[in-house]
Structure 1
Amino acid sequence: MNLSFYLLLIIIGLITGSITSLIGASGVMIVVPILTMFFNVSVHNAIGTSLLIDVIASLTVSYSYYKNKNIDLKSGIWIALTSIIGAQVGALFASNMGEGNLSSGFGIVLVLAGLSTFRKSYKEKNNSKTKNKVFNFKKEWQKILASLIIGFGIGILSGIFGAGGGVMILITLIAIMSFPLHKAIGTSTLIMAITALSSTIGYASRGNIDIELSILISIGAILGGIIGSKYANKVNEKTLQKIVGICFTLMGITMTIITKFK
């Protein structure tokens, strides 16, 4: 590996950390397609490596939000608990899936996430008065039960596709817990770190993590996370959602097409 290669990996990390800090999305959405399409890393190794990066980036970002009092883990702890279990189940499923199926599956998830993010940027204005009332629980135990079920589902997706579930957790905190946006991003990022750590352990136990790539990309992810968190409140959120949504969708389509022709 030469210097330009190292710099490229760090730049990838910068982008990953920035996206995580600004919209609470998992950096896995960026790392997995790049490692598989341009660095010829196997899908299983790419997901395992990206999960480790996700843990480091998410912890960095969540600490920044914590300093600004934008984390409330008390309400989100139920999602975190079952997401850990679900992540192990998902990682077990992923180990038994073929490279082609896993690549295609991840590409489809990426497209759906991109379209959802892009669509959300248009719907937020019209739904601003009702978006926090999607679920109307009369009793606390109903909210807790729903959070446990959702957390388990998020964990399974994390384990299979390597996504820490940041966007899904974010939507859950806003829709079910009625969190303000900034507190929802901070809390979901911390929960994402916990979920990603559980998935990382599952992939590491099967030898599907490239430590060298993880370290280099994580250096950039830490820097990107710190810088992005600092300026998170100054960025036009809707514009950023549209850009990220388009990028995710294009990468997902590209990844799916390339997989079909391999």
Structure 2
Amino acid sequence: MVFLLLAAIGALSGMMGSIVGLGGGTILVPLTLLVGINLGWIPGITPQSVVGISVIMMIFNGLSSTLSHMKVKTVDYQTGWIFFAGSIPGMIIGAFVNKGMDLPSFNLYFGILLIVLSILLLARNHLKPIQWFVQRGKPRTFVDKFGETHVYGYPIWFALILTFIIGFASGLFGIGGGTMIVPALILLFLFPPHVAVGTSMFIVFLSAIVNSITHISLGHVPWHYALPVIPGAYIGGMIGTKLNRKMNSDTLVLVLRIMLLLFGVRSIIEGIWG
């Protein structure tokens, strides 16, 4: 029963994460904390092991989604490698900080992050893109399926600083960082939305490999719980990528915002009074 539950959580996380380029950890971590620790349905689970499961899941979620985006050429590989390089030190530091966190502290800080992410998702459709960064970076072009040409870009120094911060949050909480990367690519650097999601999933895949190595070395990965999540995350990632291309995801993004907000409030309450 526990393994089927984890597989279902992996599939849901992978699907929702791939639709908007999150990587799935933003969904898996609060869901697993809820059913594993608060409801007690997963014996022996801890915040550290939840993060360990999440980073393993994101390798396969990111891989399946990236392969799907590669087929339709919506991955900017150069940007992916630059952002990945900037995130490596942050991920390693975040993973070591995670080792010393107790459950109340993890819940409090993770809850604050979820609320910030829900606000970012809420605001990204209402904020106007910033031209300043594109003008100071090397311009790139992308022609979408409708024949429209998009010009985007960024200064590398700013991208490295930004991805260090995102990498730290990813290593600390076991999330993919896509919730922060996608709005940054769209609003700051004027990326076309589908390229932003495809590139984000490529970054999530690369980052999850480094993240998982660090957490495995720290003993944070309970393999008997992580293995059932892998096939669910891989299949969910493929389904989510297809939905991203074929449907308007505004409704699902709205549901995701509400979920993040509710999980965030619950996590903060647990951190303060739990």
TM-score past 0.5 threshold? yes
1:75 alignment partner, one of 66, 76, 79 = 79
Cα deviation, 1:60-102, whole Å, max 9, x if unaligned, reads 1111111111111113322110101210011122222333212
CA contact (8 A) 1:37 1:255 kept: no
Distance in 1 between the 2:237 and 2:25 partners? Answer: 14
2:131 alignment partner, one of 108, 130, 133 = 133
1:237 maps to 249
Closer/same/farther in 2, CA of residues 30 and 138 from structure 1, 3 Å limit: closer
Closer/same/farther in 2, CA of residues 142 and 73 from structure 1, 3 Å limit: closer
**TM-superposed deviation, 1:136:** 4.3
Distance in 2 between the 1:224 and 1:25 partners? Answer: 13
Two-structure CA RMSD over aligned residues (Å): 2.0
CA contact (8 A) 1:65 1:186 kept: yes
Cα deviation, 1:138-159, whole Å, max 9, x if unaligned, reads 3549701111111111111111
**TM-superposed deviation, 1:21:** 1.5
**TM-superposed deviation, 1:167:** 1.7
Distance in 1 between the 2:76 and 2:31 partners? Answer: 33
**TM-superposed deviation, 1:46:** 0.6
1:8 maps to 5
Q: Please tell me whether residue 37 in structure 1 is matched to residue 34 in structure 2.
A: yes
CA contact (8 A) 2:29 2:51 kept: yes
Secondary structure of the residue aligned to 1:25 is: coil
Percent pairwise identity = 30
Secondary structure of the residue aligned to 2:12 is: helix
Cα deviation, 1:152-174, whole Å, max 9, x if unaligned, reads 11111111111121121112222
Distance in 2 between the 1:142 and 1:234 partners? Answer: 29
Distance in 2 between the 1:189 and 1:159 partners? Answer: 16
Give 1:234's aligned amino acid: K
1:146 alignment partner, one of 135, 158, 166 = 158
Please say which of residues 166-175 and 178-187 is displaced more in the overlay.
166-175
CA contact (8 A) 1:61 1:225 kept: yes
Cα deviation, 1:102-154, whole Å, max 9, x if unaligned, reads 22111111122123213334x1xxx5xx4252534335497011111111111
Q: Please tell me whether residue 111 in structure 1 is matched to residue 115 in structure 2.
A: yes
Give 2:172's aligned amino acid: I
Closer/same/farther in 2, CA of residues 205 and 240 from structure 1, 3 Å limit: same
Secondary structure of the residue aligned to 1:39 is: helix
Distance in 2 between the 1:139 and 1:216 partners? Answer: 43
| Count of residues paired in the alignment | 253
Distance in 1 between the 2:262 and 2:9 partners? Answer: 17
Closer/same/farther in 2, CA of residues 225 and 219 from structure 1, 3 Å limit: same
Q: Please tell me whether residue 158 in structure 1 is matched to residue 170 in structure 2.
A: yes
Larger helix share, 1 or 2: 1
CA contact (8 A) 2:129 2:189 kept: no
1:1-262 counterparts in 2 under 5 A? 4-40=1-37, 41-121=45-125, 123=126, 127=127, 130-131=128-129, 133=131, 135-140=133-138, 143-262=155-274
Give 2:26's aligned amino acid: M
CA contact (8 A) 1:24 1:186 kept: yes
Which runs of no fewer than 5 residues in structure 1 stay unpaired?
A: none
Distance in 2 between the 1:93 and 1:106 partners? Answer: 13
Distance in 1 between the 2:171 and 2:68 partners? Answer: 26
Distance in 1 between the 2:216 and 2:95 partners? Answer: 10
